[in-house]
Chain A
Amino acid sequence: DVKVTQSSRYLVKRTGEKVFLECVQDMDHENMFWYRQDPGLGLRLIYFSYDVKMKEKGDIPEGYSVSREKKERFSLILESASTNQTSMYLCASTPTTTNTEAFFGQGTRLTVV
Chain B
Amino acid sequence: GQNIDQPTEMTATEGAIVQINCTYQTSGFNGLFWYQQHAGEAPTFLSYNVLDGLEEKGRFSSFLSRSKGYSYLLLKELQMKDSASYLCAPGGSGAGSYQLTFGKGTKLSVIP
Distance of A40 Cα from B100 Cα, bound (Å): 19
Select which of B42, B91, B100, B102 is within 8 A of A107 by beta carbon. Answer: B42
B105 / chain A contacts, CB cutoff of 8 Å: 42-43
B42 touching A43, Cβ below 8 Å: no
Distance of A59 Cα from B104 Cα, bound (Å): 13
Q: On chain A, which size bracket covers the interface? A: 20 to 34
* Interface segment, one of A61-69, A70-78, A79-87, A89-97: A89-97
Select which of B42, B91, B104 is within 8 A of A40 by beta carbon. Answer: B104
B100 touching A33, Cβ below 8 Å: yes
Once A41-B104, A107-B42 are accepted as A-B contacts, the answer to whether A98 and B97 lie under 8 Å apart by CB is no
Once A50-B97, A96-B98 are accepted as A-B contacts, the answer to whether A101 and B87 lie under 8 Å apart by CB is no
- A: residues with CB less than 8 A from B are 31, 33, 35, 40-43, 45, 48, 50, 54, 56, 58-59, 90, 92, 94, 96, 98-99, 101-102, 104-107
